[in-house]
Structure 1
Amino acid sequence: MKNLFLFPVALLAFCLTGFAQEALFNAQQLISPEVHEDKTVTFRLFAPDADVVEVTGDFLPTVKVETPRGPMDGPGKAKLTKDDNGVWSLTTESLGPELYNYSFLVDGFKTTDPNNPFLIRDVATATNVFIIDGGHADLFKTNDIAHGSVTRRWYDSPGLDMDRRITIYTPPGYEKSAETYPVLYLLHGAGGDEEAWINLGRTAQIMDNLIAQGKAKPMIVVMPNGNVIQDGAPGEGSKNFYKPTFMIPNTMDGTYEGAFGDIIKFVENNYRVKADKAHRAIAGLSMGGYHTLHISRYYPNTFDYMGLFSAAIMPREDATGKVYSNFDETLQTQMDNGYELYWIAIGKTDFLYEANTEYRAKLDAMNMPYEYVESEGGHTWRNWRVYLSQFAPMLFQ
C-alpha cells in the first residue's frame, strides 16, 4: 500500500515539474527592454523567420496618423537588426525621463513584447511600458514610501438605474486615522473607464509621491466610469468580456453630468470626507474635461477647484440634455459664486487646441478668472500624467 500511495504522488510531482519546465523552455530568454545606465534602451525579439521587425512607441519622433478623431500625432517606428541566432535588436539614443509605451511590428503585424509582462490597455489596444527614471518620471514610479490604497467599489446610481463600479484612492494612513479628507473627482476621456486613470495615469503612484514629498495634501481621489451605458469597465462589468470601443453612446449627451450627484452622495456617505465646496475638486482629460466643465457649472456651488486637461470643448449634435441649457447663465453663476482655481491645460499640437483657445476667449470676455498652462505635445497620456502632477499640489491649500 505504501508503494501504491507513493506512485501517484511521484507522478503528480513529475507532472508539475514538467509544466514548470514547459513554461521555462517555451519562454524567450531575452531581456527586453533593457534600460542602460546612459538611458539608452535595447529592444530584443526572437523571430528567426521574420523578414522585417520594427518597434513603434512614443519614445520615437511623432508622425501624423488617421484616428477616429481625425489626423493626430502618433508614434513613429524604427527597424531592428537580425543576428545569426534569429534575434532582432535595436538600441535607442539616450532617452529623457518618462513612462514610455511601445509595440513590435513583425512583417507588419503589430504585437506586444513577449519578454515584457508589463502592459497597459488604452481603449482596445494593449502596449508594453517601461520607465526612464529621473525628473517628473520619478513621480510615476512605486518608491519606498508610505502608500495609499486603491479599491474598486460598487455604488447605486438611481439617476442611471444601475449599480456601477468605481475606483477610489485613499491616502496613506486613511484606514488607521480618524481624519476627514478633501476629495478630487478625476474623470477619464473617451474610450476610457474607471480603470484608465489608475492604470494609464499612474494616479496612485503620483499621489503617493506628491504626498510623501509634502507637495500635495492627503486627499481621496475618486475615478468614476463616464460611460453611462456601462456598469463597469470591459471585463469587469456585467457584460464581461467584449472589445472596448472609443465612443460609447450617451457619453456626452448630458446623462452622465446630470447623474453625477449619485457619485458625490456615495462618496460622502461612505468615506470620511470634508463635504463642502472648499474641499471638493473635479478634473478630467478630453471627454472628462468636457464633463468637468459642465458638471462644475451645472452644480455651480459644489466645487472650488476645476481642472480641464485637453478638454473636448466642441459643439455636439447630441448635447441636447438639460445639463447643456442656459450655458452662459450657469457659467456666470459659477463665477459669481466664487472658486479657488479654474485650471486649463493643453498641448500646443493637440487637435483640441483651437477649441480651447476659443473657450478661453469666452472666459476672458466675461472676466472669468482661470489659470492656463500650455505644454509641448498633443492629446496624450504623457501630458495628462504631468497635468495631474501639476494640478494636485494646487488643491486645498
Structure 2
Amino acid sequence: MKKYLLLSLFLLFATGAGLFAQEALFRSQQIISPEIQETNRVTFRLLAPNAQTVQVTGDFLPTVKIESPRGMVDGPGKADLKKGENGVWEFTSEPLGPELYNYSFIIDGFTTTDPNNPFLIRDVASVTNIFIIGGGHADLFKTNTVSHGTVARRWYSSPGLGMERRITVYTPPGYENSTDQYPVLYLLHGAGGDEEAWVSLGRTAQIMDNLIAQGKAKPMIVVMPNGNVIQDAAPGEGSLGLYKPQFMIPKTMDGTYEANFMDIVNFVESNYRVKADKASRAIAGLSMGGFHTMHISRFYPNTFDYIGLFSAAIMPREDATSKVYSDIDGTLKTQMENGYKLYWIAIGKTDFLFDANVEFREKLDKMGMPYEYEESEGGHIWRNWRIYLSQFAPRLFQ
C-alpha cells in the first residue's frame, strides 16, 4: 500500500510540474511578430481584441524631439497599427536599411513589449524588443558561422573600493587552447549602464568574433567593467539584490572610479595571459564612459597607447573635486609628451554633447595634441556606439 501511495504522489507531482512547464505555452500567441520580408519591410502584429488603440514605437521610425534627464534629445517616433476582424492589430514599415533596431508597443497609452518576440534588451530600466535587418555593418551584429570567443563574468577584488566586484570579460576564439599572450581593450559603459551593457546592447562579442574572423581586428581580450562604484555588480546580479536601475547614481563621476581603475588592470594582468605593456593596452568608452576614458588615460598618462572617446560626456561637474580632476591641461600635456598611437574621438552630429566635444577638440588643437575625429549622423544612441566599436577595434594593436 505504501508503495502505491508513493507512486501516486510521484505521478501527481510530475503531472503538476508538467502543467507548470507548459504554462508559458498557454500564454503564448500563435502570431509572427516581427516578420521581416524579403523587401526588408517589417510587419508587427499584436492580438489585442479589446484595445482601443495600438501603436508601435522604435528607432526604425523617424525621430522626434523628446524631453529627457539630459534635456531635449532625439527619440523614436510612433506609428498606428490597424485592427483586423480577428482582433489582431498590424503595421508594416517602409523598407529598412541594415541595422539592429529596437521597438515597443503602446496599447491604450501603456507601453509594453511584444509578447511574440522573446528577444529583449535592457537599457537602464527600459526593456525593449529587438530585431536585425542584415547586410552591411549590421552583419557584424549577428551571430555568424565563425569561430567564437568566450564571455565570462568574473569577480575581482578592489582594495581601493573595499569590495569584490564583477566584470565581464570577452576572450577571443582559441584563447583557452592557446599559450599566446593577448592585448587588452578596456571598454566602458555610459550612465545607467553596468558590466552587462556593452555585451547586451553593444553586441561586443558578435562584433569582435566577426571582425577577428574577417581578419580586420587582432585577437584581443575585451574587459567591460562596472563604472558605478557603489555597486558590486549590475542590478539583480550583486549583493544589493533586485532593484530598479537608475540613470545616474552617486559617485559615478566624482573621480572615485578613475582613481581605483588600476585595481581592474591589475586583476586582468594577474589572471589572464596578456601583454602587460602600454602598447598592448587600449581604453574606450561611451558617454560617461568616454568621460572616464579621457580622465583615466591622462591620470595614468603612460599606461594606454589607444584611447577612444565615443560621444564622451566631457563637461564640467560640481562634484569634480577629486585629485583626479586637478591639472587637466598639465596631465594631458604629459600624456601627449609620453606618446600614444591613437587618440580617437567620435560623436553624432545631433548628439546633445556635440558642443562639449567641439570645445574639447579646440583644447587639444590649442595644445597641439594629435587625435583623429569621426563625425556621424544621429545622436546619443547605441546605433552609433556599436558602429564606433566596429571602427575603433580594427585600429588597435596593429
Note whether the superposition's TM-score is higher than 0.5.
Answer: yes
The root-mean-square deviation of aligned C-alpha atoms, in Å, is 1.2
Q: CA deviation at 1:85?
A: 1.1
> Does 1:219 pair with 2:216?
no
- 1:170 aligned residue: 171
- Unaligned runs of at least 5 residues, structure 1: none
SS of alignment partner, residue 144 of structure 2: coil
Equivalent-residue separation in structure 1 for 2:45 and 2:130 (angstroms):
14
- SS state at 2:285 partner: strand
Following the alignment from structure 2 to structure 1, what is the Cα–Cα distance between the partners of residues 259 and 213?
36
Q: Distance in 1 between matches of 2:232 and 2:306?
A: 27
Using the alignment, how far apart are the partners of 2:333 and 2:113 within structure 1? 49
Distance 1:117 1:40 in 2: 20
Which stretches of structure 1, 4 residues or more, deviate above 6 A after TM superposition? none
Cα distance in 1 between the residues matched to 2:187 and 2:22: 45
> Does residue 1:59 correspond to 2:71, yes or no?
no
Which residue matches 2:157? Answer: 156
- Deviation of the 1:240 alpha carbon: 1.0
1:298-334 deviation line (CA, Å, top 9, x unaligned): 0000000000000001010101100000111100000
Q: Distance in 2 between matches of 1:164 and 1:115?
A: 36
In the alignment, does 2:93 pair up with 1:92?
Answer: yes
Partner Cα separation in structure 1 for residue 327 and residue 254 of structure 2 = 15
Distance in 1 separating the partners of 2:329 and 2:14: 73
- What is the identity, as a one-letter code, of the residue corresponding to 2:67? E
Residue 136 (structure 2) pairs with residue 106 (structure 1): no
Cα distance, 1:378 vs. partner? Answer: 0.2
Offset, 1:18: 3.7
Aligned to 2:192: 191
CA separation in 1, counterparts of 2:253 and 2:355? Answer: 20
User: Match of 1:104, SS?
Assistant: strand
**Distance (Å, rounded) in 2 between the aligned partners of 1:291 and 1:84:** 54
Question: Distance between the aligned counterparts of 1:38 and 1:286, measured in 2?
Answer: 35
TM-score scaled by length of structure 2: 0.98
CA deviations on 1:348-394 (whole Å, 9 max, x unpaired) are 00000000011111111111100000000000000000000000000
The CA distance in 1 between the partners of 2:15 and 2:154, in whole Å, is: 42
Take 1:157 and 1:4, find their aligned partners in 2: how far apart are those partners? 56
Match of 1:230 in 2: 231
Counterpart CA distance in 2 for 1:330 and 1:363 is 12
Distance 2:199 2:209 in 1: 12
Shift in alpha-carbon separation, 1:274–1:71, aligned structure 2, 3 A: same
Task: Evaluate the alpha carbon distance shift between residue 363 and residue 107 of structure 1 in structure 2; reply closer, same or farther with a 3 A threshold.
Answer: same
Mapping of residues 287-306 of structure 1, within 5 Å: 287-306=288-307
Amino acid at match of 2:168: T
Secondary structure of 1:78 counterpart: strand
* Matches for 1:1-397 after TM superposition, within 5 Å: 7-8=8-9, 10-397=11-398
Equivalent residue of 1:120, what SS?
A: strand
Mapped to 2, the partners of 1:174 and 1:373 lie a distance apart of 32
Structure 1 residues 12 and 350 mapped into 2: Cα distance closer, same or farther (>3 Å)?
same
| Counterpart secondary structure, 2:324 | helix
Could you tell me how far 1:19 is from its partner in structure 2? 3.8
Cα distance in 2 for residues equivalent to 1:82 and 1:120: 27
How far has the Cα of 1:5 moved from its partner?
6.3
- Cα distance 1:230–1:23, how it changes in 2: closer, same or farther (>3 A)? closer
- Give the TM-score normalised by the residue count of structure 1: 0.98
Q: Which moved more, 1:306-315 or 1:10-19?
A: 10-19
Distance of aligned partners of 1:8 and 1:97 in 2 relative to their CA distance in 1, 3 Å threshold:
same
Q: Which moved more, 1:1-10 or 1:351-360?
A: 1-10
SS at match of 2:24: helix
The 3-state SS of whatever aligns with 2:294 is helix
